[in-house]
Amino acid sequence: MSGALSVSLYPAGRTLWTSVRDRSTFTGGKTFTNGETMSRKSFLSLMAAAFLCSALPAWSQNLPEGKGKEIAAAKCMSCHALEARVGNGYTAEGWATAVRMMTNHGVPLSKEEVATLTPYLAKNYPEKNKAAAVVVPGPFKVSMKIWRAATPGSRPHDPLAARDGSLWYTGQMANVLGRVDPKTGQVKEYRLKTAHSGPHGLVEDSDGNIWYTGNTGALIGRLDPRTGAVTEYPMPDPQAKDPHTLIFDKAGILWFTVQNANRIGRLDPKSGEIKLLTPPTPKSRPYGMALDSKGNLFVVQFGTNKVARVDPKTLEIREYTLPDPASRPRRLAITSDDIIWYSDYSRGYLGRLDPATGKASEYPSPSGPKSAPYGISAINDVIWYRTTSSGTASPKPSRTPWCASIPRRRSSRAGRFRAAATSFATRT
């Protein structure tokens, strides 16, 4: 599965959409009008929480005494540790959502067990004090609207703004795709074919079909919104278990990453044929992807300090090595000059890679080395990104994300940019 949250920015209509996964809601965005540029009236509202997965041994935990301890030990820690995921804690409502997510994903809990477990978790892992959001003065007018997903605890994931104006989301823990009509507020969910397929990324094709990655189902899926019919394309290799991010190129070919299997996939929708490519670096964990103006596919490799380029015709893969061995690029964006911008999740940096020369320049995030920059997008050649923790430079807790825009400076000095005075924090 992915980390805390992915960022999706859509130039069409200049509206940003984001999902709030721990509360089963969607956050609407600001639509920019009046002919003003995105760098002057930009909006970024992001909330995140991650509390389900951690690879720590269950037996290392010392749970608090009380009614519900046995259930927590048996059900909450059967595969992963609990202590590592409670973070800043949750309200009673938040824990109810978390438990609902567990049951949506197949954890066997009776109604009686849920009624016992939820107050146990709320009592022993309450929500801790969080720093107030920081509002930065400036010419910003922000509007936000929230829609509640139809299934509680569905963990809305990667949002998609479709061409007809609808908003789609993956209900990762409920095995559904959801459609929101922003005009009426109507929310409709489509149940998928394979149980617990873990829908993740979303993309729309030219016919209005919605494609998704089955992150835990080892498949690519296609939903026809007109009929509700779901077509599945299983991975040809049993080791390719976790399709992650997907994107269509101009020829209509669907590309996708298979993170832990170290693969990059190519699916021809006309024939259904899937080809899996293997990057030269083992365990490189292909993650985010984007296309440049020439149709080349670029993939950041989250398991190493590299960025890969795939030639769509020859399928040749070239890897670019980033300056610091500790770099772990997670998402990327490409500006109109085909410069690659990436978020270095492990070091708290933003990077700029020129594929023509192979030169990479890196810049520290204002929120510090532990800010964990994650989602990143380019709109009107302005780089927007979000972080998933506050970093050591700020006294704020790790669940307070910081966001910033970085307009590129149009000059001959490659790699130069200025940090705009538009950073702000959003409370989760």
What is the DSSP code (8-state) at residue 21? G
pLDDT band at 53 (very low <50, low <70, confident <90, very high): very low
Query: In the prediction, which pLDDT does 404 show?
Result: 44
Q: Which of 106-115, 157-166, 305-314 has the highest mean pLDDT?
A: 305-314
* Residue 120 placed within a domain: yes
Write down the residue that tokens 């021809």 correspond to.
268
Q: Give Cα 364 distance to the centre of its chain.
A: 21
pLDDT at 120 over 70: yes
* Residue 49 placed within a domain: no
- On average, the pLDDT of the chain sits at 79
How much is the average pLDDT of 190-197? Answer: 94
How much is the average pLDDT of 272-290? Answer: 98
Q: Transcribe 78-134 into DSSP letters.
A: SSS-SGGG-TT-B-HHHHHHHHHHHHHTT----HHHHHHHHHHHHHHSBPPP-PPPP
When mean pLDDT is compared across 92-96, 111-115, 263-267, the lowest value belongs to 92-96
What is the DSSP code (8-state) at residue 213? E
pLDDT band at 304 (very low <50, low <70, confident <90, very high): very high
Write down the residue that tokens 């596919």 correspond to.
297
The length of the chain, given as a count of residues = 428
In 10 A of CB 415, how many CB atoms? 16
pLDDT band at 79 (very low <50, low <70, confident <90, very high): low
Span 35-44, pLDDT tens digits: 333 333 333 3
pLDDT at 116 over 80: yes
The percent of residues above 70 in pLDDT, for the chain, comes to 71
391 vs 179: which has the higher pLDDT: 179
Q: How far apart are CA 406 and CA 365, in angstroms?
A: 10
Q: What is the CATH number of the domain that holds 103?
A: 1.10.760.10
pLDDT band at 88 (very low <50, low <70, confident <90, very high): confident
The percent of residues above 90 in pLDDT, for the chain, comes to 55
How much is the average pLDDT of 321-327? Answer: 97
Q: Does residue 5 contact residue 17 with C-beta atoms inside 8 Å?
A: no
Query: In the prediction, which pLDDT does 56 show?
Result: 36
Q: Are residues 163 and 118 in the same domain?
A: no
When mean pLDDT is compared across 118-127, 149-158, 176-185, 353-362, the lowest value belongs to 149-158
How much is the average pLDDT of 3-12? Answer: 38
Q: Does residue 419 contact residue 406 with C-beta atoms inside 8 Å?
A: yes
Query: Strand (E) positions, 172-296?
Result: 176-180, 187-191, 199-204, 210-214, 219-223, 230-234, 243-248, 254-258, 263-267, 274-277, 286-291
Query: In the prediction, which pLDDT does 190 show?
Result: 98
pLDDT at 22 over 90: no
138 vs 199: which has the higher pLDDT: 199
Query: In the prediction, which pLDDT does 256 show?
Result: 99
Q: Are residues 95 and 224 in the same domain?
A: no
Span 363-394, pLDDT tens digits: 998 888 888 899 899 988 989 888 876 433 33
* Residue 38 placed within a domain: no
Q: How far apart are CA 360 and CA 399, in angstroms?
A: 30
Q: Are residues 225 and 347 in the same domain?
A: yes
Residue-number span of the structural domain to which 269 is assigned: 8-30+134-425
* Residue 391 placed within a domain: yes
Q: Are residues 243 and 195 in the same domain?
A: yes
How much is the average pLDDT of 329-354? Answer: 96
Q: How far apart are CA 411 and CA 371, in angstroms?
A: 29
Q: Give the contacts of 302 (CB within 8 A, at least 6 positions apart).
A: 259, 284, 285, 286, 287, 288, 328, 329, 330, 345
Q: What is the CATH number of the domain that holds 379?
A: 2.130.10.10
Q: How many CA atoms lie within 13 A of 130 on its CB side?
A: 20
* Residue 157 placed within a domain: yes
Whether the CA torsion 34, 40, 45, 50 is positive or negative: it is positive
Q: Are residues 238 and 110 in the same domain?
A: no
Q: Are residues 254 and 340 in the same domain?
A: yes
Q: Are residues 374 and 281 in the same domain?
A: yes
395 vs 258: which has the higher pLDDT: 258
Q: Are residues 293 and 325 in the same domain?
A: yes
* Residue 46 placed within a domain: no
Q: Does residue 297 contact residue 310 with C-beta atoms inside 8 Å?
A: yes
Q: Are residues 73 and 199 in the same domain?
A: no
Q: Are residues 204 and 343 in the same domain?
A: yes
How much is the average pLDDT of 290-294? Answer: 98
Q: Give the contacts of 69 (CB within 8 A, at least 6 positions apart).
A: 63, 120
SS3 assignment for 3-14: CCCCCEEECHHH
Query: In the prediction, which pLDDT does 85 show?
Result: 66
* Residue 52 placed within a domain: no
Domain count, the chain: 2
Q: Are residues 103 and 233 in the same domain?
A: no
When mean pLDDT is compared across 37-46, 62-71, 128-137, the lowest value belongs to 37-46
What is the DSSP code (8-state) at residue 157? -
pLDDT at 20 over 90: no
Q: Are residues 183 and 96 in the same domain?
A: no
Q: How far apart are CA 217 and CA 240, in angstroms?
A: 10
Tokens of 280: 């030269």
* Residue 118 placed within a domain: yes
